[in-house]
């Protein structure tokens, strides 16, 4: 594949330009993430470190492990994007449509240690993290003012992290964000036309093609999407149809932890600790059962930068063919 081609993401209807001829263009700039291991294991200035639990604003809402030797803690975000207290109120006047900024914003502290890269966590540690995600998701889902829960992680400065200590975040919003509503509508349309879940269909075809698969186990498959928006863009799909993350079982959590650990290690060792984001995409809260929507995890390594073209068109340019991304990741040597 030397010539560019456009590929459509069936889930979002977005066209991506796969553009391998761009891969070697020159740059005036260069940048690299630092490895965390050069940092101290404990930082007296870090509100997330074990030993600093009394820090202002770090009163926990959930803890896994005992008080002193905790493994994972969940605390409110000290600078929340939305505030917990209040009622959901609309106000419409001419072109101005607004709503009170209520919601939940929490931080999942993934480790007691300041300097441990998530790629080096034990599988058990990742199980704890996923259990914390599930518990908070289920509890917050009870709040009738809220419509969507987004769990995500920013790793590395280029991925938008402001603090170094490994953590992920949960935001619950009083509306269904349009990206999610749009995906849902597309999935419904696909179901109307074919009687199948578009995600199940993608899964079946990817497993049968094989060339974009990275790894799989009993409950999960990781692969590079056919219309990957950037190099090393990865989807992790549960094999059994389910629309919401909140119903994940313990045996599924174990398999997910195993595949997530594997993928983060492939990124870490294969690409020298790149910045990345991951997001759990789950159905809106008022949909508890759906034949057309399928929850999944999307991982985006921040190895290219979006610029004016992406901003102006909503199209991404991916210089690395997805098949090559997958092959590279499959071949990373893990010890």
Q: Which of residues 31-90 bind a second copy (CB under 8 A)?
A: 78-83, 86
**Contact yes or no for 300/230 (Cβ under 8 A):** yes
Give the shortest CB-142-to-a second copy separation in angstroms.
Answer: 21
> Of 54, 97, 144, 333, which one interacts with a second copy (CB under 8 A)?
97
Q: Is 165 a catalytic residue?
A: no
Total interface residues for a second copy by CB under 8 A? 84
> Of 111, 277, 283, 290, which one interacts with a second copy (CB under 8 A)?
277
Q: What is the token pair recorded at 20?
A: 């391998």
Residues 204-233 that bind a second copy (CB under 8 A): 205-206, 226
Catalytic residue among 167, 219, 233, 294: 167
Element (H, E) at 1: none
- DSSP state letters, 167-212: EEEEEEESS--HHHHHHHHHHHHHHHHHSS-HHHHHHHHHHHH-TT
Residues 300-329 that bind a second copy (CB under 8 A): 300, 305-315, 317
Considering beta carbons, is residue 181 or 330 the nearer one to a second copy? 181
Distances from the Cα of 130 to the Cα of 72, 108, 253, angstroms:
10, 10, 7
Q: In 10 A of CB 95, how many CB atoms?
A: 5
Residues 161-190 that bind a second copy (CB under 8 A): 161-164, 169, 171, 173-175, 177-180, 182
> Of 40, 51, 65, 101, which one interacts with a second copy (CB under 8 A)?
101
Residue 126 DSSP SS3 = helix
Considering beta carbons, is residue 62 or 175 the nearer one to a second copy? 175
**Contact yes or no for 11/235 (Cβ under 8 A):** no
144: left (phi over 0), alpha (psi -120 to 50) or beta: alpha
Residue 250 interacting with a second copy (CB under 8 A): no
Give the shortest CB-49-to-a second copy separation in angstroms.
Answer: 13
Give the shortest CB-333-to-a second copy separation in angstroms.
Answer: 28
Give the shortest CB-211-to-a second copy separation in angstroms.
Answer: 11
Q: Spell out the residues 6+ positions from residue 162 whose beta carbon is closer than 8 angstroms to its own.
A: none
Considering beta carbons, is residue 254 or 293 the nearer one to a second copy? 293
Q: Which of 149, 152, 153, 142 is nearest to 172 (CA)?
A: 149
Considering beta carbons, is residue 33 or 254 the nearer one to a second copy? 33
Residues 113-132 that bind a second copy (CB under 8 A): none
- For residues 211 and 202, give the distance between their C-alpha atoms in angstroms, rounded to a whole number: 13
Residue 12 interacting with a second copy (CB under 8 A): yes
Residue 150 interacting with a second copy (CB under 8 A): yes
Could you list the active site residues?
167
């Amino acid at each position: 594949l030397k010539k560019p081609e456009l590929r459509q993401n069936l889930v979002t209807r977005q066209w991506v330009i796969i553009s391998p001829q761009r891969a070697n263009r020159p740059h005036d700039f260069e940048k690299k993430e630092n490895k965390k291991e050069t940092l101290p294991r404990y930082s007296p200035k870090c509100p997330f470190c074990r030993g600093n639990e009394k820090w202002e604003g770090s009163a926990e809402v959930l803890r896994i492990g005992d008080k002193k030797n905790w493994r994972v803690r969940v605390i409110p975000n000290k600078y929340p994007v939305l505030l917990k207290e209040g009622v959901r109120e609309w106000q419409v006047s001419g072109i101005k449509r607004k709503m009170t900024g209520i919601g939940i914003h929490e931080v999942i502290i993934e480790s007691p240690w300041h300097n441990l890269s998530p790629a080096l966590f034990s599988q058990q540690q990742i199980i704890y993290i996923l259990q914390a995600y599930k518990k908070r998701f289920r509890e917050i889902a009870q709040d009738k003012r809220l419509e969507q829960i987004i769990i995500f992680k920013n790793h590395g400065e280029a991925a938008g992290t402001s603090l170094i200590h490994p953590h992920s975040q949960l935001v619950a919003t009083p509306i269904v964000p349009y990206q999610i509503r749009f995906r849902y509508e597309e999935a419904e349309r696909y179901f109307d036309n074919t009687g199948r879940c578009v995600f199940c269909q993608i899964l079946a075809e990817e497993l049968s093609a094989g060339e974009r698969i990275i790894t799989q186990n009993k409950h999960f498959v990781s692969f590079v999407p056919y219309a990957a928006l950037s190099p090393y863009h990865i989807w992790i799909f549960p094999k059994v149809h389910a629309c919401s993350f909140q119903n994940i079982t313990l045996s599924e959590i174990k398999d997910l932890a195993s595949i997530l650990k594997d993928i983060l290690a492939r990124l870490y060792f294969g690409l020298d600790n790149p910045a990345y984001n991951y997001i759990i995409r789950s159905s809106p809260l008022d949909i508890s059962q759906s034949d057309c929507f399928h929850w999944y995890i999307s991982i985006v390594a921040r190895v290219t930068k979006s610029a004016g073209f992406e901003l102006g068109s909503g199209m991404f340019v991916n210089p690395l063919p997805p098949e090559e991304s997958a092959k590279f990741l499959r071949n990373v040597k893990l010890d």
